[in-house]
Amino acid sequence: MRASSSRRPVILALRGFRAARGFSLIELLVTMAVLAILAAMAYPSLIGVVNGNRLTTQANELVTALQLARAEAIRRNARVTVCGSADGQTCLAAAAQWSSWLTVVDSDGAVLRTGAVKGPLEITGDATGVTFRADGLAHAADGSLANNTFTVCIASEHPEDNQRQVQLAGGSRVSTARVNGGGECP
């Protein structure tokens, strides 16, 4: 009698193990359908977050280039220019869409830093560039303090604020702002 009572828990344990072998095909299909619905709902939000991060990163790189140019102009006691470039080696002659930019010392043409616009982003500006003088201020051609706006944009409706405007005001104050461009770029 003792032998049969000691075998009983082993047999029950094996029966329980055999009953829980896996999922049925129906259970697997229902799980896959629920996951597909959740993924479809999360996709636009994920695209919005990724594009928003791209915009912010590119705008911050442009702000960094402007701040570096100002600091180097003061440090070197020379004019330093941040200008748009089409080829990454020379400054643009007219205001246009930037594919890259250069931070250049005007006196000797030394390139301090380069930056590139990472696709699908676009950068446009109302000037070919910004020149900082030794006093740390950017002046326009007429001698007044420069007030320039550069727009970093992605042609998408995700995120809603698909543009970042980098503004140079008062000759040296740099700020950024989010702008809703309706999915369009200027």
All structural domains of the chain? 2-179 (3.55.40.10)
Q: Which residues contact 50 (CB under 8 A, 6 or more apart)?
A: none
pTM recorded for the entire structure: 0.77
Q: Which residue shows structure tokens 């830093």?
A: 113
Q: Is a pLDDT exceeding 60 seen at residue 18?
A: no
pLDDT digits (tens, 9 = 90+) for 131-154: 999 999 998 766 778 888 999 999
pLDDT digits (tens, 9 = 90+) for 86-101: 888 888 877 777 888 8
Number of Cβ atoms within 10 Å of the Cβ of 145: 14
pLDDT of residue 73: 94
Cβ-contact 61, 53 below 8 angstroms: no
Question: Exposed/middle/buried for 37, CB within 10 Å: 0-12, 13-18, 19+?
Answer: exposed
CA gap 165, 56 in Å, rounded: 10
